[in-house]
Structure 1
Amino acid sequence: MLTGMTAYVCPRCQVQSPADALTWCCPKCRGPWDLEFASAPVSLPSLASRVNSLWRYEEALPPMPYAADVTLGEGRTPLVPLVENASGAVSAKLDFLMPTLSFKDRGAVMLAAHALRLARTGRLDRVVADSSGNAGTAIAAYGARAGLDSLVYVPEGTSPKKLEQIRAHGARVVEVPGDREATARAARTAADEPGTFYASHVYNPYFTHGTKTYVYELWEELGGRLPDTIVVPVGNGTLLLGAALAVDELHRHGLTDTRPALVAVQAEAVSPLAAAFHAGADDLEGAAPAAPRPTLAEGIAIPAPPRARQILRAVRATGGTFLTVEEDDIRTAQRDLARRGLFVEATGVACWAAVRAAPARPGLTVVPLCGAGAKTGLTP
């Protein structure tokens, strides 16, 4: 791979920063960064002889000279059919079969490789992350692989099994009283300390370039085409934005003629983006936030996602929509998948719950099963 550095750019202010800086957000608006990086086309025939991980799409990924030092073989998860009838077909991509049992490995390996590069230049002393569990676990695991000192902030009441996994990788855990937003604020305060790299799956765009490999894998698995519909769970929107990025790249490089509809799923209890979308709003700014209620889908219970504007724009650009699911739908969907041989955590079944309840869409629909049920157990 190439070893040159890319640049951060604020999508709102157009402010730029070198990607080797530890500035974790735009200094003008405090918003998240995008990455100024131009991918190259991936040759489908060449993939047969490549490494069996997400790194097989190296032309599409930002330069990562230390990828070999941090990889755990992430990516290349199975695509299995769930439903096939005259109305259409639904397949599931089993991203809960990643090394840390969630799709967050796709982005975490990118953050760890980038952080290792900064550590070896002497710029970085520690890594800080915030998470409801899965992202923190992934950062802890890949941080351990890279030999980095990691500190993970989690909301009070996070699943004990997830906390055990984070600690097992050697990361220190800080439990923050309050909700997910309070946890993020605490982590951002810590990220402002000198020598700290904020391994944020929301603010750092390297994570999004990792999650886009989800769609590259679909494209390869389907022989150079894409599904008609891709359904994704949305809290902070990292998987959806990665999917949108991959679709744009594949289309720009002439590797696909079609753009699948992106359908975003939120828990009804915490659904600010769904409300904004159906109200025709471009952002959450100025909207009176609804009081979030408890939900089994804790991983997408984000009342104020920083990339709201980008998420709404991406869904509209593909002719997609937002769906919401009730708590009983989540319980039913988890048990339904378990009876099909797939034990998935509550957040990870949200898309299947939504697809089961919605009218069938024509063609092939793909849903991700994002996190293993072993992390949280069966919902009561």
Structure 2
Amino acid sequence: MTPLPDRYCPTDGVRIPGASLAWCCPSCHGPLDLDFAPTPAPLKSLTGRVNSLWRYAETLPLAAPTVSLGEGRTPLAPLTDEISAKLDYLMPTLSFKDRGAVLLAELALRAEPRRVVADSSGNAGTSVAAYCARGRLPCTVYVPLGTATKKLEQIEAHGARVEVVDGGREAAAAAARRAADAPDTFYASHVYNPYFLHGTKTYVHELWEDLGGRLPDVLVLPVGNGTLLLGAALAIAELYGAGLLDRRPALWAVQAAAVAPLAEAFAQGADDLTGTTAVSPTLAEGIAIPRPPRARQILRAVRDSGGTFLTVTEDQIRHAQLDLASRGLFVESTGVACWAAVREGALAGKSAVVPLCGAGLKSGLARA
């Protein structure tokens, strides 16, 4: 078996051996990155490969998957002449989080822990639970109070233990981190573990292939913890560095106006979060993250791409969900945020792709 690449702290450079169960930097306690710089395969060489995200094997830090459910290769559907939607809710667990969760489960299998723990507002926990079930790995998922009942049922159906934490998303994450410090425990964190980002980057590799070796002018991406955006940035760097792209798209990050710490920091020209952000209830619960641990990386990725931040109101989210449903696409309220941000002309003629990240069946129709 190929040795696992080292992880390292992007803040202070501390290195962690690839096989270690350590989940954060021992010095600053921040998230880790992966010492892995792949070269993607040329477009023509992809013909005839497996029809899942594993067709991009050269770009993935793990090979020979044993827990795959056929994730990836989701379709594109036009919404306007300039904007297409990538239907990432058509995944095995009905959300884009399967892209990263499959790599976390594969990594956990190699570590052979006594148990796996995760934290989530619903979708990431469901994905981790499903892939742990596939790999026969015992799993506990910490979720905040108020998590959608349908998501809890889905997690439990996969055999995972659900721990409901009295508090919000940050309280659930803190409880999972405490559990992760126990011996022989694998923390399947979609925020701290860089393998998750190397799974989500396949979103862009698929776009690049389906668009014939190019990308649109703009990638519009939802941002809470930023795992899809940071994965997209990784893929763009890989493709551009290999000479497989002649230009890099701008990254437009979307947050709910009710919880928009990154949008506020960006507007102020800051390199990191600027302080305590006002937090209100939002329909976009999956991106309602007041203090994302990878804030500096997210802000830098958006700026380096020539992109920007957009925010959407609760009314915009409701209207966007109904609009997509009227087009035959029933998407959960968090998953419509990007369409809400650009459907009324914000792109000014630029070509763009928006992700539809989670199925509407997971939480139902947003109500006033």
TM-score, with structure 2 as normaliser:
0.98
Is 1:251 the equivalent of 2:248?
no
Question: What CA distance in whole angstroms lies between the structure 1 residues aligned with 2:245 and 2:209?
Answer: 11
Of residues 335, 353, 356, the one that matches 2:343 is 356
Query: Residue 343 of structure 2 aligns to a residue in which SS?
Result: helix
Query: Residue 79 of structure 2 aligns to a residue in which SS?
Result: strand
Question: What CA distance in whole angstroms lies between the structure 2 residues aligned with 1:139 and 1:75?
Answer: 16
Query: Residue 76 of structure 1 aligns to a residue in which SS?
Result: coil
Amino acid aligned to 2:71: E
Question: What CA distance in whole angstroms lies between the structure 2 residues aligned with 1:41 and 1:269?
Answer: 39
Of residues 148, 163, 177, the one that matches 2:137 is 148
For the Cα contact (< 8 Å) 1:8–1:36, is it kept in 2?
A: yes
Question: What CA distance in whole angstroms lies between the structure 1 residues aligned with 2:142 and 2:129?
Answer: 11
Question: What CA distance in whole angstroms lies between the structure 2 residues aligned with 1:233 and 1:41?
Answer: 25
- How many residue pairs match? The answer is 367
Q: Which residue in the other structure is 1:117 paired with? A: 110
Of residues 93, 102, 105, the one that matches 2:98 is 105
Query: Residue 96 of structure 1 aligns to a residue in which SS?
Result: coil
For the Cα contact (< 8 Å) 1:54–1:213, is it kept in 2?
A: yes
CA distance change for structure 1 residues 358 and 25 in 2, over 3 Å: closer, same or farther? farther
Amino acid aligned to 1:95: D
Question: What CA distance in whole angstroms lies between the structure 2 residues aligned with 1:349 and 1:375?
Answer: 13
Q: Which residue in the other structure is 1:73 paired with? A: 70
Amino acid aligned to 2:17: P
Of residues 175, 189, 193, the one that matches 1:200 is 189
Q: Which residue in the other structure is 1:182 paired with? A: 171
Question: What CA distance in whole angstroms lies between the structure 2 residues aligned with 1:357 and 1:201?
Answer: 32
For the Cα contact (< 8 Å) 1:228–1:362, is it kept in 2?
A: no
Of residues 276, 290, 313, the one that matches 1:303 is 290
Amino acid aligned to 1:351: C
Is 1:163 the equivalent of 2:160?
no
Question: What CA distance in whole angstroms lies between the structure 2 residues aligned with 1:173 and 1:165?
Answer: 10
Of residues 130, 133, 136, the one that matches 2:125 is 136
Of residues 313, 326, 333, the one that matches 1:326 is 313
Query: Residue 175 of structure 1 aligns to a residue in which SS?
Result: strand
Is 1:367 the equivalent of 2:360?
no
Is 1:48 the equivalent of 2:37?
no
Amino acid aligned to 2:94: L
**Displacement of 1:357 after TM fit?**
3.9
Stretches of structure 1 lacking an aligned partner (at least 5 in a row): none
Amino acid aligned to 2:70: G
Q: Which residue in the other structure is 1:219 paired with? A: 208
Query: Residue 366 of structure 1 aligns to a residue in which SS?
Result: strand
Question: What CA distance in whole angstroms lies between the structure 1 residues aligned with 2:259 and 2:37?
Answer: 35
**Displacement of 1:43 after TM fit?**
2.2
Question: What CA distance in whole angstroms lies between the structure 2 residues aligned with 1:201 and 1:361?
Answer: 34
**Displacement of 1:35 after TM fit?**
0.2
For the Cα contact (< 8 Å) 1:4–1:63, is it kept in 2?
A: no
Amino acid aligned to 1:98: M
**Displacement of 1:19 after TM fit?**
1.8
Question: What CA distance in whole angstroms lies between the structure 2 residues aligned with 1:56 and 1:318?
Answer: 27
Structure 1 moving runs of 4+ over 2 Å:
357-363
Question: What CA distance in whole angstroms lies between the structure 1 residues aligned with 2:168 and 2:345?
Answer: 30
Q: Which residue in the other structure is 1:3 paired with? A: 2
Stretches of structure 2 lacking an aligned partner (at least 5 in a row): none
Q: Which residue in the other structure is 1:38 paired with? A: 37
**Displacement of 1:4 after TM fit?**
1.9
Amino acid aligned to 1:177: D
For the Cα contact (< 8 Å) 1:64–1:114, is it kept in 2?
A: no
Amino acid aligned to 2:23: W
Q: Which residue in the other structure is 1:346 paired with? A: 333
Amino acid aligned to 1:8: R
Amino acid aligned to 1:91: S
Question: What CA distance in whole angstroms lies between the structure 1 residues aligned with 2:22 and 2:241?
Answer: 30
Amino acid aligned to 2:83: V
Q: Which residue in the other structure is 1:262 paired with? A: 251
Query: Residue 97 of structure 1 aligns to a residue in which SS?
Result: coil
**Displacement of 1:358 after TM fit?**
4.8
Query: Residue 262 of structure 2 aligns to a residue in which SS?
Result: helix
**Displacement of 1:41 after TM fit?**
2.5
Question: What CA distance in whole angstroms lies between the structure 1 residues aligned with 2:36 and 2:100?
Answer: 16
Q: Which residue in the other structure is 1:377 paired with? A: 364
Is 1:94 the equivalent of 2:87?
yes
Question: What CA distance in whole angstroms lies between the structure 2 residues aligned with 1:19 and 1:135?
Answer: 23
Query: Residue 135 of structure 1 aligns to a residue in which SS?
Result: helix
Question: What CA distance in whole angstroms lies between the structure 1 residues aligned with 2:345 and 2:260?
Answer: 17
Q: Which residue in the other structure is 2:28 paired with? A: 29
Superposed CA deviations along residues 156-190 of structure 1, whole A, max 9, x for unmatched, are 11000000000000000000001100110000000
Question: What CA distance in whole angstroms lies between the structure 2 residues aligned with 1:363 and 1:280?
Answer: 25
For the Cα contact (< 8 Å) 2:62–2:106, is it kept in 1?
A: no
For the Cα contact (< 8 Å) 2:62–2:103, is it kept in 1?
A: no
Q: Which residue in the other structure is 2:324 paired with? A: 337
Is 1:275 the equivalent of 2:264?
yes
**Displacement of 1:5 after TM fit?**
1.3
Alignment RMSD (CA, Å): 0.9
